Amino acid sequence: MRKALYLLVGFVLLAGSAVWAQDTATIVGTVTDSTGAVIPGAKVTVSNPNRGFVREVASTTAGEYSAARIPIGDFVITAEATGFEKLVRSGITLEAGQTQRVDMALKVGQVTQQVEVVGNVATVETENATVSDVVTSKQIDNLALNGEMVFGLEFLVPGAAIADGQGSALELGHAGGEMSVSFNGNRNEYSQLEYDGGNNAQESSLANGGGVTPALDSIAEFRISTSNYGADVGQHAGALIEMVTKGGTKDFHGSAHEAVRNQAFDANDWSANQQINPPGGNAPKQPLQWNIFGYTLGGPFYIPKVYNENKNKTFFFWSQEWARYRAATVIDSGAPTQLERNGDFSQCDPASGNYLGNQYPQFTPANCILPTVNGVTVDKVTPVNNNGADWLNAYVPLPNSGPTGYVSALKVPTNFSDTVIRVDQNLSDKASLFVRFSSDTWLKETVPALWQGNSYDTTGSNYSVPARQSVFHLNYNLKPTLMNEFVMSYTDTPHTISPIAGPASIAKSVDKPSDWSASTFCGELERQVDAGNQRQRRRPVWFRRGQRKLPGSLRCRACLQLSRQHSLAARKPHYQDRVFPGEIPVDRAVRL
């Protein structure tokens, strides 16, 4: 039993040491005397007074010392040895992922004597060959980032190239908020994104956006290593992007912000201004309303005369941000007239009193061909098939710009919110930990509906992503020359999409009409595995109605599902009475 316990402890130590999170930094150096001779066994103390952090190490027989995996921030280093004056060096600032060399040269004297040195450390990285850039919180405060998007900081690094245009960098959230940035010519998805040492990358996405999108004001540092970084941090072949959350200190700090964009500051879209006889005489202005606002608060957690009176044990940091987007894409298309929807095509008939070809070229015989019934050309077809009428009412709006034009600039909502909670605890002079939880919620209404090619705002999609990411980080200094680090993280980004009727829909519903009488069918989905990558596509087949072939898909009696082990397993069809935008209404559908 005892042997098993030792093995378990050893496994945890090895596993912890293998997870090298890059939200911390390291100080190394050599302790020498005034002649340059090394001093073994010197006591070196590394401390961050603002966060109550203290780490004690000792120099080796070669005079070298190392304080690994310590929080970023401002540090004071003290070195002392018998027969030498005490040396104190302050003004040393550590950045995320940095290895800073601070050599300590002691002078002969009494330990009670003290020499203080402020700053004066090399700012050039001399301990490794990593090519990287760091954006500090002070720089973040002074940067005017479009849309307050934290991932927009990726553009500041040499070698970064925007892969899909800057538009994706503007809105906070998901499914359009993910960045697509290539570093030094690598593929977008080859980059690794870490948040407080935990994985925050969406591994299933071809973009390099985060599982969660933290508020810009909650980030202490943003570091991007583009090449030559060590194998201890490499999970992908591209850049390593590291974000570090701010933490509480002995003093309370807070901030508040709001960013505003509004159509009142913009000119109108050219296409919207082309509407014929708009209501009220004014063309609709393309809506644009952005409001991004939030706050941060951090400091010590203490209870007077009960707990943490010295404010050096427990600290907290809290951040919340909200974004409200109201925008639209101008839709400029054509639509059948009300008479045409009722089967009356007399507006295209030169012999009819309803003929409009003299005013509008789309009604001339060259552009509008009358229907033929039993070899006879007619300008009316009655009665109108109820299935055709249902299709029109569901997916095609009434014209509002001349007899056949349709122009719309509907305002659709996107709402985003983000919460970050971090607690730091100094357990002892040898152990420290922090826990950070982030949660954001992204709710978007898209019009027209996603991925169905509609030209009208008769269909829409409700898209929601409640994302979560958390990190547990423990450091324990077993002895002056041995320490262990344990990092555990969890990320979850479920996507939910549901179809809705758009504002221009006459039917105001995506449900199958009660009078629908045509045969129905569903799509057949198949998966292909190609070089280890899964791709899903719809295979077009034919639906038979009598002897005439209509484009569509074969009715599904049973379907096949490709499991994660790439084996096929039969699965019963899923029944429902929903109409998915852009597809024939279904009474038997399949969900994979």
Which band of pLDDT confidence, cut at 50, 70 and 90, is reported for residue 61? confident
The model's confidence at residue 297, banded by pLDDT at 50, 70 and 90, is very high
What lies within 8 Å, CB to CB, of 29 at 6+ separation is 44, 64, 65, 77, 101, 102, 103, 104
Q: How much is the pLDDT for 199?
A: 83
| Other C-beta atoms lying within 10 Å of the C-beta of residue 499 | 19
Instruction: Look at residue 318 and tell me whether its pLDDT is greater than 90.
Output: yes
Q: 135 or 313: whose pLDDT is higher?
A: 313
Residues 244 and 420: beta-carbon distance below 8 Å: no
* Euclidean distance between CA atoms 416 and 410, whole angstroms: 20
89: helix, strand or coil: strand
* Other CB atoms within 10 A of residue 514 CB: 6
Which residue has better confidence, 247 or 145? 247
| Residue 121 tokens, joined | 């450390």
With a cut of 60, say whether residue 327 has pLDDT above it: yes
Q: CA triplet 95, 312, 308: central angle to 5 degrees?
A: 150
| Residue-range domain boundaries for the chain | 17-118, 131-245, 253-331+410-501, 519-592
Look at the domain 17-118 and name its fold. Answer: Immunoglobulin-like (2.60.40)
Q: Which of 450, 499, 454 is nearest to 333 (CA)?
A: 454
Q: Above 50 in pLDDT, residue 387?
A: yes
Environment class of 469 (CB within 10 Å of its CB; exposed 0-12, middle 13-18, buried 19+): buried
Contact present, 371 and 381 (Cβ < 8 Å)? yes
445: β partners:
462
Overall pTM surpassing 0.85 (yes/no): no
Percent of the chain with pLDDT over 90: 15
Residue 286 has pLDDT above 80, yes or no: no
- Residue 307 and residue 110: Cα distance in Å, rounded? 37
The secondary structure of 226-253 as a DSSP string is EES--TTT-SSSS-EEEEEE----SS-E
Angle at 160 between CA 156 and CA 161, to 5 degrees: 120
Give the Cα separation of 560 and 457 in Å (integer). 34
pLDDT value at residue 552: 31
- Which residues make Cβ contacts (< 8 Å) with residue 203, sequence separation at least 6? none
Please check the confidence at residue 316 and state whether its pLDDT lies above 90: yes
**Residue-level pLDDT at 550:** 30
Instruction: Decide if domain 131-245 falls under CATH 2.170.130.10.
Output: yes
pLDDT digits (tens, 9 = 90+) for 463-508: 998 999 999 999 888 887 788 889 899 988 888 888 889 888 898 8
